A = this chain, B = another copy of it.
Amino acid sequence: MPGSDGARSRAGRATLATVAASAGVSIATVSKVLNGRTDVGPATRARIETLLKEHDYVGPRRDGTRANGRPTVELVFGGKLNAYGAEIIQGIVDAAAQMSVTVAISGSPHGDQNVPQERLNAWARELAGAGRRAVIAVVNDLTSGDLSALSRAHLPLVVIDPLNMPRARVTSVGSTNFAGGLVATQHLLGLGHRRIAYVGGPLSAACNQARMHGYRAAMEADGAPVPDTYVRSGHFLYEDGVALGAEVLDLAEPPTAVFAGSDETAAGVIEAARARGLRIPEDLSVVGFDDLDFARVLAPPLTTIAVDAEDLGASAFEALSRSLGGETVPDEQVLPVSLTVRESTAPPS
């Protein structure tokens, strides 16, 4: 007997009737709570508000096919938005425009302190309620709490270039960090360098680990030694390059080349070398990672691993749109990186 479970049916999305039935009140009363009217008893209001959340009430159906109801995806970014983020956004917006999808953009729900799970659930519910079909995240601090909140709200998620891979299964689009580290290091080895240091990012970051392991693999394959002092960890920043670069250059047996985990760090290493009167690339070769706008503008122009951030964004959007279309999408998708040789690398003298 279909429909015998009435308003409580698990099939469709919750309506006011669903909630009203489970609260034992009329539809009108639920509507009033929803609209913030004052003529509702506080106890009733509280009960209804709880039930609205429990039922994941997200407002009336908005037809995705309607002329004025273009589907919308939410682009969530954490931390400071930089040139790299700008390129990602560009890629997403362009790809979305082609598919007539709207892109909304917002910051991550995580503030400075820990955010309770209930807050995350409310955040995800709000997105779903506002008609978002899916979420693309460019964040470093994706938590399992985010994941469960989004999944409860039935919002598919794609993560771009995640720093910390959560244990749970998430669809992600990233660049081939391992291959990048490998290629960068091989380039230096090919020039004749043997003493090559790695100045990278946080040990906990998946992308840093991959870059570092690419470096180690290339060194190992070539039989080049990797003393512990040659591998340093920072936060991918310019300042890290200055400080860690100095440490490495002041070693008793300093490297003749440095592979930096990011362009910013590479710029810092160059600065540290300059402060010591070392010429680039005659006295020290430096390779970066990312190929940001400023890489070609450095003195000397930086040899670096090019990551096509725009492509990263476009691919994330496509993965999402395919998975919304019911296709199965691989959990992890990696885009190729390429070595851009400029003037910061040369054979050791």
Contact with B along A47-68 (1 / 0, CB 8 A): 0000000000011000101111
Residues of chain A in range 287-314 having any CB-CB distance to chain B below 8 Å: 292-294, 296-299
- Check if A68 sits within 8 Å of B129, measured CB to CB: yes
- Check if A59 sits within 8 Å of B66, measured CB to CB: yes
Contact with B along A127-156 (1 / 0, CB 8 A): 001110000000000000000000000000
Kindly identify which residue among B89, B293, B298 contacts A298, using a CB–CB cutoff of 8 Å.
Answer: B298
Kindly identify which residue among B63, B103, B130, B271 contacts A35, using a CB–CB cutoff of 8 Å.
Answer: B63
- Check if B104 sits within 8 Å of A72, measured CB to CB: yes
Contact with B along A251-281 (1 / 0, CB 8 A): 0000000000000100110110010000000
Q: Which of A18-26, A77-85, A160-168 contacts B (4 or more CB under 8 A)?
A: A77-85
A69: Cβ under 8 A from any B Cβ: yes
Chain copies in the assembled complex: 2
A318: Cβ under 8 A from any B Cβ: no
Q: Closest chain B residue to A34 by CB distance?
A: B67
Residues of chain A in range 85-113 having any CB-CB distance to chain B below 8 Å: 85-87, 89-90, 93-94, 97, 102-107
Q: Which of A81, A103, A297 has the most chain B CB atoms inside 10 A of its CB?
A: A297
- Check if B130 sits within 8 Å of A68, measured CB to CB: yes
- Check if A83 sits within 8 Å of B299, measured CB to CB: no
- Check if A297 sits within 8 Å of B238, measured CB to CB: yes
CB distance from A261 to the nearest CB of B (A): 15
Q: Closest chain B residue to A59 by CB distance?
A: B68
- Check if A105 sits within 8 Å of B106, measured CB to CB: no
- Check if B107 sits within 8 Å of A105, measured CB to CB: no
A70: Cβ under 8 A from any B Cβ: yes
Residues of B with C-beta under 8 A to A81: 86-87, 89-90
Residues of B with C-beta under 8 A to A129: 67-68
Residues of B with C-beta under 8 A to A106: 93, 97, 102-103
Residues of chain A in range 214-264 having any CB-CB distance to chain B below 8 Å: 238, 264
Bound CA span A83–B293, Å: 8
Residues of B with C-beta under 8 A to A297: 238, 264, 267-268, 271, 294, 298
CB distance from A215 to the nearest CB of B (A): 23
A126: Cβ under 8 A from any B Cβ: yes
A36: Cβ under 8 A from any B Cβ: yes
Kindly identify which residue among B36, B80, B126 contacts A90, using a CB–CB cutoff of 8 Å.
Answer: B80
- Check if A36 sits within 8 Å of B59, measured CB to CB: no
Kindly identify which residue among B58, B86, B267 contacts A85, using a CB–CB cutoff of 8 Å.
Answer: B86
Given A67-B129, A68-B126, A270-B299, output 11 extra A-B contacts at Cβ < 8 Å: A34-B67, A36-B65, A36-B67, A58-B68, A68-B130, A70-B130, A105-B105, A238-B296, A267-B294, A294-B298, A298-B298
Instruction: List 7 A-B pairs, minimum CB-CB distance, nearest first.
Output: A294-B294, A68-B129, A83-B83, A86-B86, A59-B68, A267-B297, A299-B299
